[in-house]
Structure 1
Amino acid sequence: MSNPTNMLLDIFPTEIIIRLLAQLDPISLLRCRLVCRLLRDIIAETVTFNYDIELAITGQEDGESCHLSPAQKLEMLRSHQAYWTELRWSTETVYTMKGGGLWELFGNILAQKHVEQSFTFVQLPSTYRNIPEREWTVEVDVPQRILDFGVDPSQDLLMLIEMPRSRTLLQQYYRIHVQTMSTAEKHPLITGSDVIDHRASSNHTSFSIQISSEHVGILFRARQAGPKNELLIWEWKTGRKKFHLRGNEFQSFCFLSDEHVVLTLMSSPEIYVEAALVIVDFEREGPDEKTFRNITHGLAFSLPEFGPSAEPLMFTVRSDPSPLWSPHSDLHVPFHISQDARMFVASLWVRNISFLDHLTLFVPKSTLLSRVDSLGPMSASLLLPWEAWGPTGSRMTKLDIFSAMGFDSWSCHDHGTKFIIPECSSRTQNRFTIQVFDFNQYSVKRAVSQGAKVSPTDISALAHLECDSSLCVTAPTVFRAGEIFRNEVRTCLPYRWIAKVIPSARNDCSAMCSEDSIILVDSESLNPSYRVFSF
């Protein structure tokens, strides 16, 4: 018997059907392939449909400034993804570590400060996205020593925190310079002064800078227990302050969207929680200084209740790149990571009797954004219980403690949905091994449907790591009741995993990743360096 759908579609020319299908999103195209043989064949034979579908499954967006054909882009995309899945890089390059003590990795740019007031930028190459290697150095004209810096290559943006010129016991005067990466001159999009001033009420020992589109956020961490941490968000083009939070309850932050930030919260008596991720709508909060309790548009995502012998010590969160990031149009890349493909990686150190444990919590952007309509006043103890979001919307695992030692120092472990961590233990036969986790859900589902090997347990439970063999993990990670948490904790967000031994690498190296590279950081040898493996 003839398929009624085929009979109906047969009256339309193929060109008309293609035009109709072109109005659909890639996921709808995938569903249409199941309707009938005619639609399946038309979609399979149309290169633009195949390219759009591959972009959606791999968490990528089309590079509109690239003039290659969809067929050429599709071939490059499949190669890029296949080599990442198998960890088959095309080049290896070593870059000497500068002596300035400051560095940044953002958007395939490795930035380092020299001992003097200069910076070297390296554009890391990519064979499969046609990105050439490029290196340049700029001299900055800042009177005092630079304490920290942030970059955004897509906007040619360099932001510098200058050491306070006049320091007293009660106040610090910080100056944040807004310049270009290309020339270290005033950024052309600045509408007023190229310096943002901030008068802090205490001395600060470290800083965290994050740039997201038109906003820059800086966390000023207090040197001592008495003074308070400060988080400020400005529009960097105008210098206008958008948000100002003071307190020691929060330890880190990162942008979730163009109007939301994620904070890590520790031991807050206001909402009776030991540790939580907190979403805040900074646009609606306004620029006036406030404490955590005064937030009127927030929501805390509670972690599980800790056991009586477990004490959380430090809780941080990171997500790279920033939510609205896309590469500079001058690069002409064929494709780049989608703005929806973001993973928030939280690092939690816990003292458990006389032992120290390190937990890593992976939370997709979609898990957090799904609750933004529930924001409200934190004074009302607005708290989302762990059971309402954590078990199916995240994955929590315990890292080898020696692998975790450099976790918070060299913190660029994630990019998009990928996460990298080194390990050198009995599980790896004491060989330096890198592990790559990919939480792209569409990619995992496709791999499983195509017969990829599925691990019977979470990777953390394996006694031996089999290298050069990709695994899909759908089994839950389980913490037994009383192990760290009061009750049993299960998380089951699926992911894809692969490990690879790196020859001649020191056991104490750290690892970072960007869109096209894996970077080994050797900071302890006589000749400190970055060893870059590029795809």
Structure 2
Amino acid sequence: MNSELSNAPDCPLPNWLMLIVFDHLDTPSLLSCKQVCRLFNELISASARFVYKIELFAEGLQDCSSNSSLSVDRLALLQKYQAGWKKLSFSTFYACHPFLSGRSTEGYRWGFSGGVLFQAVFREDALAFSCVQMPSKIRGIPEQRWDLDITCLTSAAQDWVHDPSQGLLVLVELVPARCIVHTLDLATGHSHPLSCGQQLVHDPLGQTDRYSVSTRIFGHRVGVLLQDISSRRVDLLIWDWTTGTRELFVRSPGKPKYPIILDFAFITEDLLLLTNLVTQRTAQIQVISCTKLKKAFGYTQLKGMDFLLGLQIPPSFHGISEFFIRMDPELNWSAPRRNTVPFCVTQADRLFMFTLRFISSQSQDEDEDDDKDDYTLLFVPLSTILKQLKRAGSQNQFKVPWNEWGPSGTRMRGLYSHQTWQRTVYGMKYLEIRRTEALGEEIEILDFNQYAANRDVPASEGYVWDVLEEESFDTLPGTVKNEVVTSLPVRRATAYLPPHKRPLTHAVIGEDGILLGSYYEKMWYYMYL
């Protein structure tokens, strides 16, 4: 690139002053300046501070230190971190078995977010958690373990989610005709010091044993989606958990009436992402504003509800029954204060993984055996959604046909197994575990960071990534009406796993490594940088 750069333009500013100007630029602008002339390129490339800033951008990270004098040291750590991911050379592989000592594993559930593994044991009289903060040698995070005994519940928790950055644990309890949300301290299991001091309560107006529950946290907002399993009636509630104020209540009546909310996620504290089944065969990804829909009393009906953006999905032959969203961590994520890490995942972009279940021609019924149905993954970066929001401007209910946003802004791929925890996302990376008859189990990682996928990185010894720029064709039988073509650039890497006794059933990607679990062995394995 240097040979194509022109000489420096006439500039009355000294180099030291140009460096101050560069310091106020965002990373894309800094990269553009490198291509203006040879002088600019040399000034930026010679600065550890600017190289550190560019490499953070390439890795999908952000700086967590306010001390600019340590740029050289942090750059060295970052380069070591990058080398580990480039070659998938994890420094440590070990087995951990964090089940609660002496407790029954019946009713066991687990979660992994922000580098913390949570495992729960449900008993008739109490709920307990075993917590493990996974370590990182490079980022200086030690392993920590602690147990929590929960005493505030009167019945079994139906769902729970945790946010280590706020030290927050949210439990959802269903009692007759009522949904109760508890906001607890992640370290003690008692009421969180920032909570409003009271339970968040909602009356779903139905038999609570028929409801499925999905819960999410974003800053001071906690959202709960309650779906009646038989009628598919849905209530979506958003609260400010620090004040106890209900910010949003949306209801969809369920079958046979449409539309139906299938899942939700936060973009900001005000903006929500919904997967909306408009008819049995058509679906949309919608963006709504809590502020615009907020009502002091009553609820907003989903049918006719005002929305900002509607991204249309290719229709199916026989129907869509599931449309789930997964992303981690939330967009407001920051490293917990107790961890003085040099860098962490950026808040600028995220990868949303949508899982669609298409009803096959054999079943014709969304309640029949899902082994007959087809599952498809749709990968959508936040930047793709924000681009369409910008295009919508001040218009409401701005609908975008699939061919105007999907082919160039997403990646779609079919699934050969619908096992939920054999694939996960973190930041802009996607992880899937695969089994091969000859060589055993392997992991595949897709990195959707567009700068990393597009910049020219020379392959070195042990480099395991290749760039997929060709179009992806989804031709699963019995799903969409036409062949779907998507072409969002992505990097891909694969690696075979160390041998172990029994098949792996869980695979989770995090910021510093990969967590692998075997239900059969009752064992977790962790590979970290």
TM-score, normalized by the shorter chain, greater than 0.5: yes
**Could you report, residue by residue, the CA deviation over 1:308-366 in whole angstroms, capped at 9, with x for unpaired residues?**
4x432321111111111111222111011111120110001223334532210000101
Contact residue 294 and residue 377 of structure 1 kept, 8 A: no
TM-score w.r.t. the length of structure 2 is 0.87
**Could you report, residue by residue, the CA deviation over 1:23-75 in whole angstroms, capped at 9, with x for unpaired residues?**
22222222222233222222121111111111222221111267881111111
1: CA distance between counterparts of 2:17 and 2:308? Answer: 49
The equivalent of 2:402 in structure 1 is: 386
Contact residue 6 and residue 38 of structure 2 kept, 8 A: no
Alignment partner of 1:6 is 2:13:
no
Q: Identity over the aligned pairs, expressed in percent? A: 27
* Correspondence for 1:111 among 118, 122, 125: 118
Contact residue 102 and residue 148 of structure 1 kept, 8 A: no
Summarize the Cα distance change of 1:175–1:423 in structure 2 as closer, same or farther, 3 Å threshold.
same
Alignment partner of 1:444 is 2:453:
yes
* Correspondence for 1:396 among 412, 423, 434: 412
Structure 2 matches for 1:142-221, cutoff 5 A?
142-144=152-154, 145-164=156-175, 167=176, 172-190=177-195, 192-202=196-206, 203=208, 204-221=210-227
* Correspondence for 2:315 among 305, 308, 314: 305
* Correspondence for 2:441 among 424, 432, 436: 432
Q: Which amino acid aligns with 2:288?
A: V
Alignment partner of 1:490 is 2:485:
yes
Q: Which moved more, 1:504-513 or 1:172-181?
A: 504-513
Q: Which amino acid aligns with 1:93?
A: Y
The equivalent of 2:60 in structure 1 is: 59
1:230 deviation in Å? 1.5
**Could you report, residue by residue, the CA deviation over 1:175-226 in whole angstroms, capped at 9, with x for unpaired residues?**
2111101111221112x323111111122433111101110111112132x2
Contact residue 98 and residue 132 of structure 2 kept, 8 A: no
Task: Give the SS at the match of 1:424.
Answer: strand
1: CA distance between counterparts of 2:321 and 2:184? Answer: 37
Task: Give the SS at the match of 1:80.
Answer: helix
Contact residue 514 and residue 528 of structure 2 kept, 8 A: yes
2: CA distance between counterparts of 1:278 and 1:13? Answer: 50
1:109 deviation in Å? 0.8
Q: Which moved more, 1:472-481 or 1:336-345?
A: 472-481
Alignment partner of 1:528 is 2:522:
yes
Structure 2 matches for 1:66-465, cutoff 5 A?
69-96=70-97, 98=99, 99=105, 100-115=107-122, 116-144=126-154, 145-164=156-175, 167=176, 172-190=177-195, 192-202=196-206, 203=208, 204-224=210-230, 226=231, 228-247=233-252, 248=254, 249-268=260-279, 274-287=282-295, 288-306=298-316, 308=317, 310-354=318-362, 355-372=372-389, 374=392, 383-399=399-415, 401=416, 404-407=417-420, 410=421, 413-425=424-436, 429=438, 431-446=440-455, 449-451=456-458
Task: Give the SS at the match of 1:322.
Answer: coil
1:483 deviation in Å? 6.3
1:97 deviation in Å? 5.6
1:151 deviation in Å? 0.9
Contact residue 93 and residue 528 of structure 2 kept, 8 A: yes
1: CA distance between counterparts of 2:511 and 2:396? Answer: 38
1: CA distance between counterparts of 2:433 and 2:44? Answer: 41
Alignment partner of 1:475 is 2:470:
yes
1: CA distance between counterparts of 2:120 and 2:307? Answer: 38
Task: Give the SS at the match of 2:291.
Answer: helix
Q: Which amino acid aligns with 1:473?
A: L
Q: Which moved more, 1:35-44 or 1:326-335?
A: 35-44
Task: Give the SS at the match of 1:388.
Answer: helix
Contact residue 246 and residue 291 of structure 1 kept, 8 A: yes
**Could you report, residue by residue, the CA deviation over 1:394-414 in whole angstroms, capped at 9, with x for unpaired residues?**
011112x2xx3322xx38700
Summarize the Cα distance change of 1:314–1:297 in structure 2 as closer, same or farther, 3 Å threshold.
closer
2: CA distance between counterparts of 1:236 and 1:483? Answer: 44
Summarize the Cα distance change of 1:72–1:111 in structure 2 as closer, same or farther, 3 Å threshold.
same
1: CA distance between counterparts of 2:8 and 2:286? Answer: 52
2: CA distance between counterparts of 1:4 and 1:441? Answer: 27
Structure 2 matches for 1:510-521, cutoff 5 A?
510-521=506-517
2: CA distance between counterparts of 1:315 and 1:481? Answer: 17
* Correspondence for 2:497 among 487, 491, 502: 502
For structure 2, the residue ranges without an aligned partner over 5 or more in a row are: 100-104, 255-259, 363-371
Contact residue 322 and residue 358 of structure 2 kept, 8 A: yes
Task: Give the SS at the match of 2:282.
Answer: strand
2: CA distance between counterparts of 1:7 and 1:246? Answer: 61
**Could you report, residue by residue, the CA deviation over 1:473-522 in whole angstroms, capped at 9, with x for unpaired residues?**
00011135976322232100010111111133444522111111211121
1: CA distance between counterparts of 2:423 and 2:197? Answer: 31
Contact residue 423 and residue 432 of structure 2 kept, 8 A: no
TM-score w.r.t. the length of structure 1 is 0.86
2: CA distance between counterparts of 1:227 and 1:361? Answer: 23
Summarize the Cα distance change of 1:512–1:393 in structure 2 as closer, same or farther, 3 Å threshold.
same
Q: Which amino acid aligns with 1:486?
A: K
Contact residue 359 and residue 479 of structure 2 kept, 8 A: no
Summarize the Cα distance change of 1:352–1:412 in structure 2 as closer, same or farther, 3 Å threshold.
closer
The equivalent of 1:457 in structure 2 is: none
**Could you report, residue by residue, the CA deviation over 1:50-103 in whole angstroms, capped at 9, with x for unpaired residues?**
111112222211112678811111111122122112211122232326324232
Task: Give the SS at the match of 2:201.
Answer: strand
For structure 1, the residue ranges without an aligned partner over 5 or more in a row are: 454-466
Summarize the Cα distance change of 1:314–1:46 in structure 2 as closer, same or farther, 3 Å threshold.
same
CA RMSD in angstroms, aligned pairs only? 2.5
Summarize the Cα distance change of 1:82–1:328 in structure 2 as closer, same or farther, 3 Å threshold.
same
Task: Give the SS at the match of 2:324.
Answer: strand
2: CA distance between counterparts of 1:296 and 1:284? Answer: 8
2: CA distance between counterparts of 1:476 and 1:442? Answer: 18
Q: How many residues align?
A: 492
1:279 deviation in Å? 1.4
The equivalent of 1:456 in structure 2 is: none
